[in-house]
Structure 1
Amino acid sequence: MDAITALASTARTATAFDTVINSEDVYSFHNPYHDGGILVSLITFVGTTDEMAKKRLGEESGLFVRIMKKRVEKETSEVSKLAVGVSGGFEDKFDTISTYSVVAMDGSGIISELPYNEETKQTFPTNVMNSVESIIHHAGLAVKQDLSAWELDEEKPVSKYAANLPFVDNGVTIPSNPAEWTCQQTGEKSDHLWLNLSDGFIGGGRKNWDGSGGTNGALDHFKETGEQYPLVVKLGTITEDVDSADCYSYAKDEDGPVKIPNLKELLEKRGIKVAGMQKTVKSTAELEVELNATYAFDAIVEKGKHLVPVGGAGLQGLQNLGNSCYMNSVVQILFSGTVPELAARYGVKNGDVMGNTLLNVDPKKASDDLLCQAAKLSSALTSGVFCGPVPESAVVTDDPASTDPKYRLAPRMFKHCVGHDHIDFKTGQQQDAAQYLQYLLQKLDRAELGAGDRLKSKDGSGPALISSHLFSYQTETRLVCEADGMVLYKTSPSETMLSLRIPMSKATLPEYELPDEKRQKSEAAGDDKDKQEVPTVTFDACIDEWAATNAIEDYRWNHLNSVSKADSKLSLVNFPRYLLIQMQRYEIGDDWQPKKIEVNIDMPGEISLEKFKAKGPRDGENLIPEDTDMPDAAPAAPTIDEGALGQLMDMGFTMNGCKRALTAVGGSNVEAAMNWVFEHSMDPDFNDPLLDGGAATAPFSSSDVDEGVVMSLVENLGCFTADQVRAAVKHCDGAADRAADWLFSHMDNLDGAIAALESNAATSGGGTLSAPSVPLEDGEGKYTLMGLVSHIGKNTGSGHYVAHLKKNGKWVIFNDEKVALSQDPPIKHAYMYLFARNDAVGLPHPEY
């Protein structure tokens, strides 16, 4: 105790505003269920292993609380309680036992360690006891991150009853000591006590469907008092941060969680001073988040098959955090070893999970450091040290709660690092896996470029190659001007995913396999399964459609200073080491809602793209120099046709609005101008005079983006306006693949998403890092299929994602935590495909 007492003055008490990491090691997935548990610093509130804590202390000394948990099988298998609040959620077979101890340590190891429990805690210095209690009862970073995402989807309203809530002056005061709180209905202590803010009555919370939870005392009291005192607050959730307290309204027109702006004043009327109060129980939202994290999905590829489970290096499953299967699938493709370069950079080093230098970051910064969290995640996936005993089968209905928590990898910190500043990925909603993959590569690039000495080239002469370099390719667009036959070549910005439209006009239907007589019997019995023929489109048809010549009407040619038709054709400038292909399986239906295209893709295991290689200018072509096609400033305004202007004005539109429309479409095309008017008539500047020189304003001008890319996407995608495409292209830094994917993933509310982009652009201030100028990798355009991500659901923002990866020549399914040998990989149903260039297979890039 002397060593602990000597360091007692250094201990801090965690407040609701502090970040506390009390559920896992910040550098690995070692958690309280592993041998030795975790040590949480009483100074920084960061949890680590003994080894890492000792390494970080160096010559100094520090105090920690050791948190250890174990599961003990119950004597009865009956469902006796809903164990939300413990790892695993629904637990009808196990109890969780937590033990604690206070540890004094220096760089040489443990100096003193004493058990901490109800019997011993009063023997510790008050400073130490308060610190330990605050860490044990703190929600912790993991739950707070989940809550942050959950609350984005479930915004609590301000109660209409708060401002004028009746107050019964009955002399009742509430003690600040939680040990003195009891239910006035039963006289028992509980973690589910709610205080009525009108009359001071303390009663149990709602009873759950299975009999667990509270006693319904608070709700019963509300009814017994004529339903005139509707607002309650959960005792034990009140802290200095009163906004984080759990408040509820029983009023019939609210009946749900609410915000109470004047909560502090209402509590003070009952004698409760919030200053210094510590959280002692979980809020309803925290319990809901933990329950949601255990939700088991049933719609799974290969459902019902008794698969052979596998485990080990590169075969580690990931816990679904609630709608996070899109992230899990992408992470498996990138970091589990299928892309050996990324596994070498971020994965285990020389067999040591903690040996990656990217983990070398201050503990207080580690949870927010993307490179550290990527290394933490990839090291766990590639080492296999967290894989538990392999079960006998991987039946789809297996309950994740039966898995020992020490073998469950929940990538919360990684999810937060990547998505915390993204409008979609910071939420708890399902997202588009293809969009997430591209955004993740962007984030990694920026983090790697800013890594300094933590990530250098192999010879140490400069920064290392960025991760996206492995997937990067460029396209060449050959544009032929119909007016004079001159040719313009343009090269796109680097892209990381080839997005292909599925040409249903090239689809073929399968032949009936059943004889007519048998089919008639099947139909008579009401079985229409055999009538639901799913068409098939070959990969060759998809890539041919992508590379086909497209006509672009009214393309603005700057060398002509006018518009003219253009013939556009795409080709590939280089063949990257890894090729990501996305199939556009979604389209706008007749009701203008996104719908999935029911089609099989005949995707071969090996493909050749040699014939799509860009060849550059041809002999005898009359070329337009690219610099003459780029305007020096705002594009020159076209001459407005007076006859066209008169036709538009006869339809009732203002002169300024008609001039803007004709200017935007080249000056004379009445039909195109009418369409422009319908799209922009509600613009705030629609009726304003044109700018000097006659230029019309638009949310994104042609100087912001390549109009050739915009018009090509408008033609190829077929269901978006030029302005919508232009906004997406600008948001995606000119990359056509990411722009197409962004558009399809936001079809349900595209106008709102574009408005959010414009708002974010106005407030963000830019400041992105530029990638070093490195020649793109090239080689022979022959590829082998190595992985795929499949999606089940009506659109990419719902349903479920799974990954299938080729490991040692065998296909393996990664369905969140379930990892097993695949019997029938859904190649024809996949949403994304990962190909490896044949001449690079087995020869990882040495710079990674």
Structure 2
Amino acid sequence: MLEGFLSEREWSVLTPPTSSTPVYKDDCMFSFDTAFDKEGLDICLYCYQSFSRAGLNYTQQHSEFFDHKLFLNYKKTLKPRQERESEQPLKMVKLEIKEQSEDELFDIQTSIYCSETNKSTKFPSPDLPVQIQEVAAAILKSTSSDKKQEIKAWEQEILPCPHAFDIVQKSLPNIDLTQCQTCGLKENLWICLTCGSLGCGRAQFAGVAGNSHALAHNKEFGDHHIAVKLGSLSMDSADCYCYSCNEEVKVPDMVRCLKTFGIDISSFVKTEKNLTELQLEQNIKWDFQMDGEDGAVLEPLFGKGLTGLKNLGNSCYMASALQVLFSIPAYSSAFHIEEGMPVEKLLNPGNPANDLETQLFKLGDGLLSGRYAVPDEFTTETVKYQRGIRPSGFKSLIGQGHPEFCTMQQQDAFEFWIYLIDKVEKERIQGVSKSSPSETFKYVLENKLKCQNCGGVRLSTEISDNLTLPIHDELLSVDEDGQRHYKEVNLDECIDSWFKPEIVDYECPVCKSNQQAVKRQGLKSYPEYLVMSPQRIKLENWVPIKIGVPIKLEDNLSLARIKHEGILPNEVQFPEDPETTTQKKYVFNSDAMNVLQGMGFTEIRAKRALFNTGNFDAEAAMNWLFGHMDDDDIDLPFEPPASSTTDVIAVNVNGEDLDSLVAMGFTEKLATKGLIVSNGNVEQAVDWLFSNPDDNGELPTAEKKAPLETTEELIKRLEEASSASDGDYQLKAVICHKGTSIHSGHYVAFIKKQIEGVSRWVLFNDEKVVAAHGATLKDIETTGYLYIYERSA
């Protein structure tokens, strides 16, 4: 009986979570242990966060640090004969099928665990205090935070295109709505909203038939832009596709348009998967040449650094980028330690799910420790691949505020790569390293401009972290299916095209007139890891298409020939512009400045607030101003110092929420801290305040970070670091994309790894991790999208 080993004071403060309270029950906050593991998950009855006792015992650490002693232990096992598709994202089960509950899918075991005594009591049990029963029952009933984020991310906003308005219709007599009017196919049917012509769609992954007769109709009648998929129709569903814009669109007057052809949408029931569902199914199930040349299944691999990532629904772009990123020593050493999670992260009173550095440490442990790189015993397949870890918390956090990465749609892996390393750098996230791990990709680029008239030269330098290469796309043939075949190129040819001089118009400061000039680029330093992306996406009739030019796989590259020229003996350098010789001023976020000044704040106040809140956004600056309106220096002239650090964690709380807590009798100082440690959630703040009545309200001091070095200092350091290099590189990894569009298809990563002391290519295809060779490696030549080369020692 629980009351026998825990006093009433310990559980009397418990309150059930409300519908708006985040409840974490998918995996541990600091590891990828789940309820499917032997020990299950321990869900804290005080803060509703999940922890695990297996191995690193985060449950005990959380209990000791925060004095939270009661947990709901939560274990799940898959019911017999249940297909693994039950774990697929929500969108996969929306095809007019009732979604199954957890009780229908899993056998669930629950108990109440006390960390102080290391004892458990069966739940539900009449011997438990009513208060504990209510909290535990509410946790079980609640939708997990990950599932809430997943549902929100699926709420895709599809917008009308210019062709979706004022559709001029021409009704055809006696329209047969049962089959394609060209080939007689009875599924995958699309009706033209202009004339009612019924044609079959394109063949889809997983055996959905189609002969593209709807598309052929659009090519014959170019002003018949939009078609609707009959099988997708219901009162709350309809696939509308504009062939001219080449994207899914919304038609505001669709109901009226369909009535022209005798179609009453209220009488239709959705019978076929929509475009998003088909894309997701393709993304999840695409095997990407998982067989060897002899037809045998490629050898699954397990162990440290060989952990797969479960597809969360069109998340392969993220998985491939993360696999490559954590194979780079700068990232693996920064975010992976034997302890799993640094103790300062365990002590952080905020929400671990909202801390990017914590999520990166969690990923480092999950991908590199080897604890999760074991055969999946749940599957009935003959070949046992991994179950894979599910980085749903990381995906939700990294996508916050981004219009594309917050959705469940397929995205561009290169764009995600750039966004992630840039975010890590801007937020000065270093893990256990002494400098930014993203520095491993940086190099100094020299831009040279030479006037053709007077011969004067202007040099400028910049820092970059990737190289975008042009591709020569010589079309050889187009087959009957519309498949294009291009002449093979190699990366050396693409690099030479990038290095090739360019003639530009230039306002020469010596000639005092517009002249032609030769512009070229060159490397002033060689990065430790060179990231190169061939330009496989091009615009054709203002529509982005992917070109499948084969790029010969080359293990070794030499970049010595594209080293910068500098000033040659017979050249004269133009005098520097005054603006380039003076130190660059602090540049304030212009959008945030405009918002703040539009709200009535003076320029001085706006600048001071932006500087003190990291120069990120107007909302944080506004909240800072509301808390500092009475500062003596608020209206004094303000110029940012050359370097500065903030000693105290920035305060960013909602004023109304703060007032409501103060009205309840809490001091402003304590209420402010309650909101901060509860990540702005008022209800959790109230729980924290009642649980910590003796807290002094002092905010923890932020760790001082070294002042940012100047661009000039970084350039000098990068040049010195690679001064001994001769520009030779070896291929480390390739991210590949199979498909005709970056908005669909599938990404995988090929990475060179040391397997039992031998360098081997490894294919990371979501949760499947296999040894790659032969025909599989051949895929890289036509699908290579992002190449990472390692500088030779």
TM category, shorter: 0.5 to 0.7
Which one-letter code corresponds to 1:787 in the other structure?
A
Counterpart secondary structure, 2:572: coil
Q: Give the distance between the partners of 1:616 and 1:131, measured in 2 at CA.
A: 70
Q: Give the distance between the partners of 1:81 and 1:477, measured in 2 at CA.
A: 53
* Equivalent residue in structure 2 for 1:833, among 768, 787, 793: 787
* Equivalent residue in structure 2 for 1:70, among 77, 88, 93: 77
* Equivalent residue in structure 2 for 1:564, among 515, 518, 523: 515
Deviation of 1:471 (Å) = 0.5
**Cα distance change on mapping 1:113 and 1:490 into 2, 3 Å:** same
* Equivalent residue in structure 2 for 1:469, among 418, 439, 457: 439
Question: Equivalent residue for 2:351?
Answer: 365
**Cα distance change on mapping 1:30 and 1:299 into 2, 3 Å:** closer
8 Å CA contact retained: 2:62, 2:346:
no
Question: Equivalent residue for 2:733?
Answer: 787
8 Å CA contact retained: 1:473, 1:495:
yes
Which one-letter code corresponds to 1:545 in the other structure?
S
Deviation of 1:4 (Å) = 6.4
* Equivalent residue in structure 2 for 1:428, among 408, 411, 421: 408
Matches within 5 A, 1:705-724: none
**Cα distance change on mapping 1:613 and 1:30 into 2, 3 Å:** same
**Cα distance change on mapping 1:358 and 1:255 into 2, 3 Å:** farther
Question: Equivalent residue for 2:163?
Answer: none
8 Å CA contact retained: 2:154, 2:408:
yes
Question: Equivalent residue for 2:493?
Answer: 541
The answer to whether residue 334 in structure 2 is matched with residue 345 in structure 1 is: yes
8 Å CA contact retained: 2:73, 2:111:
yes
**Cα distance change on mapping 1:807 and 1:99 into 2, 3 Å:** same
The answer to whether residue 548 in structure 2 is matched with residue 602 in structure 1 is: no
Counterpart secondary structure, 1:425: coil
- Residues 703-758 of structure 1: CA deviation (Å, up to 9, x unaligned): xxxxxxxxxxxxxxxxxxxxxxxxxxxxxxxxxxxxxxxxxxxxxxxxxxxxxxxx
8 Å CA contact retained: 1:103, 1:114:
yes
Deviation of 1:130 (Å) = 2.0
Question: Equivalent residue for 1:817?
Answer: 767
Counterpart secondary structure, 1:64: strand
8 Å CA contact retained: 1:785, 1:835:
yes
8 Å CA contact retained: 1:295, 1:322:
no
The answer to whether residue 371 in structure 2 is matched with residue 385 in structure 1 is: yes
- Residues 119-169 of structure 1: CA deviation (Å, up to 9, x unaligned): x2x44333222211221111111112212211244799xxxxxxxxxxxxx
Deviation of 1:411 (Å) = 0.5
Counterpart secondary structure, 1:618: coil
Bigger Rg, structure 1 or 2: 1
Counterpart secondary structure, 1:331: helix
Q: Give the distance between the partners of 1:81 and 1:789, measured in 2 at CA.
A: 26
- Residues 363-413 of structure 1: CA deviation (Å, up to 9, x unaligned): 642111111111111111111101232799x9xx9799x978xx4311011
Counterpart secondary structure, 2:288: coil
Q: Give the distance between the partners of 2:382 and 2:142, measured in 1 at CA.
A: 28
**Cα distance change on mapping 1:533 and 1:391 into 2, 3 Å:** farther
Question: Equivalent residue for 1:446?
Answer: 426
8 Å CA contact retained: 2:414, 2:786:
yes
- Residues 247-270 of structure 1: CA deviation (Å, up to 9, x unaligned): xx9x9768999xxxxxxxxxxxxx
Give the alignment's TM-score, normalised by structure 2: 0.60
Question: Equivalent residue for 1:135?
Answer: 139
8 Å CA contact retained: 1:38, 1:68:
yes
Deviation of 1:832 (Å) = 0.8
Question: Equivalent residue for 1:741?
Answer: none
- Residues 89-108 of structure 1: CA deviation (Å, up to 9, x unaligned): 8999x9521111112323xx
Question: Equivalent residue for 1:764?
Answer: none
Question: Equivalent residue for 2:31?
Answer: 28
- Residues 322-355 of structure 1: CA deviation (Å, up to 9, x unaligned): 11100000000011xx3123211112x24x4x25
Question: Equivalent residue for 2:227?
Answer: none
- Residues 790-823 of structure 1: CA deviation (Å, up to 9, x unaligned): 1112222221101001112111111101111112
Question: Equivalent residue for 2:586?
Answer: none
Q: Give the distance between the partners of 2:356 and 2:520, measured in 1 at CA.
A: 39
Q: Give the distance between the partners of 1:298 and 1:8, measured in 2 at CA.
A: 47
Question: Equivalent residue for 2:570?
Answer: 620
Q: Give the distance between the partners of 2:123 and 2:7, measured in 1 at CA.
A: 12
The answer to whether residue 333 in structure 2 is matched with residue 327 in structure 1 is: no
The answer to whether residue 364 in structure 2 is matched with residue 414 in structure 1 is: no
Q: Give the distance between the partners of 2:108 and 2:92, measured in 1 at CA.
A: 14
Q: Give the distance between the partners of 2:375 and 2:496, measured in 1 at CA.
A: 47
Which one-letter code corresponds to 1:19 in the other structure?
P
**Cα distance change on mapping 1:63 and 1:612 into 2, 3 Å:** same
Which one-letter code corresponds to 1:365 in the other structure?
N
Q: Give the distance between the partners of 2:334 and 2:86, measured in 1 at CA.
A: 42
Deviation of 1:61 (Å) = 4.7
Deviation of 1:299 (Å) = 4.0
**Cα distance change on mapping 1:126 and 1:154 into 2, 3 Å:** farther
Please provide the CA RMSD for this pair.
4.1
Unaligned runs of 5+ in 1: 157-229, 232-248, 258-287, 458-463, 511-522, 633-768, 840-848
Q: Give the distance between the partners of 2:557 and 2:87, measured in 1 at CA.
A: 51
The answer to whether residue 329 in structure 2 is matched with residue 376 in structure 1 is: no
Matches within 5 A, 1:95-244: 96-106=106-116, 109-110=117-118, 112-117=119-124, 120=125, 122-153=126-157
**Cα distance change on mapping 1:298 and 1:152 into 2, 3 Å:** closer
Give the aligned length: 532
**Cα distance change on mapping 1:603 and 1:627 into 2, 3 Å:** farther
Q: Give the distance between the partners of 1:619 and 1:807, measured in 2 at CA.
A: 46
Question: Equivalent residue for 2:14?
Answer: 11
Question: Equivalent residue for 2:176?
Answer: none
Question: Equivalent residue for 1:732?
Answer: none
Counterpart secondary structure, 2:418: helix
Counterpart secondary structure, 2:448: strand
> Percent identity at matched positions?
26
Which one-letter code corresponds to 2:558 in the other structure?
S
Which one-letter code corresponds to 1:437 in the other structure?
W
Which one-letter code corresponds to 1:105 in the other structure?
S
**Cα distance change on mapping 1:427 and 1:312 into 2, 3 Å:** same
Question: Equivalent residue for 1:683?
Answer: none
**Cα distance change on mapping 1:838 and 1:80 into 2, 3 Å:** closer
Q: Give the distance between the partners of 2:279 and 2:547, measured in 1 at CA.
A: 30
**Cα distance change on mapping 1:603 and 1:558 into 2, 3 Å:** farther
Which one-letter code corresponds to 2:527 in the other structure?
P
8 Å CA contact retained: 1:478, 1:568:
yes
Which one-letter code corresponds to 1:410 in the other structure?
R
Unaligned runs of 5+ in 2: 94-98, 161-234, 237-254, 256-262, 270-274, 583-706
Deviation of 1:827 (Å) = 3.2
Q: Give the distance between the partners of 1:302 and 1:391, measured in 2 at CA.
A: 24
**Cα distance change on mapping 1:609 and 1:292 into 2, 3 Å:** closer
**Cα distance change on mapping 1:499 and 1:296 into 2, 3 Å:** closer
Which one-letter code corresponds to 1:588 in the other structure?
L
Matches within 5 A, 1:519-668: 533-553=485-505, 555-558=506-509, 562-589=513-540, 591-627=541-577
Q: Give the distance between the partners of 1:837 and 1:811, measured in 2 at CA.
A: 18
**Cα distance change on mapping 1:131 and 1:116 into 2, 3 Å:** same
* Equivalent residue in structure 2 for 1:495, among 458, 464, 489: 464
